């Protein structure tokens, strides 16, 4: 919970929002309610903060969806473009999801996340329509 404000700041970053399911700004009260529920342990969601030499560089979480563990992650704005996403996601999968089937839902055209999915050995399987009124790009399910 000590990281709640930095997680919200990363989530509400403009680039992050452009590639999230919902491009809307997330209100602090909703974020705190979600994080409290997740940290309570009854949701089946695993969430981790990634660090490099003691500095927070990203966050990743997973939850069960249709027999797959669905990944969602964010690299801190100051750390983007430094090659951290692939090793962060690989380490998370290795430590928390060994032997599990993995999927990612990626907004169409999000090349950075597509590269992460490919590095995990995932392939684009099908598209789902956007549920974001402000962004019509479909979600591509990678498995």
Provide the whole-model pTM: 0.91
Span 69-109, pLDDT tens digits? 999 999 999 999 999 999 999 999 999 999 999 999 999 99
Structurally, the chain folds into a number of domains equal to 1
3-class SS string, 60-117: EEEEEECCEEEEEEEECHHHCCCCCHHHHHHHHHHHHCCCCCEEEEEECCCHHHHHHH
What is residue 121's three-state secondary structure?
Answer: coil
Residue with tokens 């999230």: 20
Span 26-40, pLDDT tens digits? 999 999 999 999 988
Tell me the CATH number at 124: 3.40.630.30
Domain hosting residue 70, numbered range: 4-142
Q: Are 113 and 137 in contact (CB under 8 A)?
A: no
Neighbours of 70 (CB within 10 A): 19
């Amino acid at each position: 919970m000590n990281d709640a404000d930095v997680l919200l700041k990363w989530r509400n970053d403009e680039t992050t929002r452009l590639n999230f399911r919902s491009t809307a700004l997330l209100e602090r009260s909703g974020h705190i309610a979600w994080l409290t529920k997740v940290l309570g342990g009854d949701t089946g969601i695993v969430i981790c903060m990634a660090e490099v030499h003691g500095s927070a560089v990203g966050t990743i979480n997973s939850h069960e969806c249709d027999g797959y563990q669905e990944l969602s992650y964010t690299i801190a704005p100051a750390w983007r473009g430094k090659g951290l996403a692939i090793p962060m996601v690989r380490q998370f999968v290795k430590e928390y999801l060994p032997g599990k089937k993995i999927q990612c839902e990626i907004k169409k055209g999000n090349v950075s996340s597509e590269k992460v999915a490919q590095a995990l050995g995932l392939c684009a399987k099908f598209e789902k329509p956007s549920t974001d009124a402000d962004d019509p790009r479909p979600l591509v399910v990678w498995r």
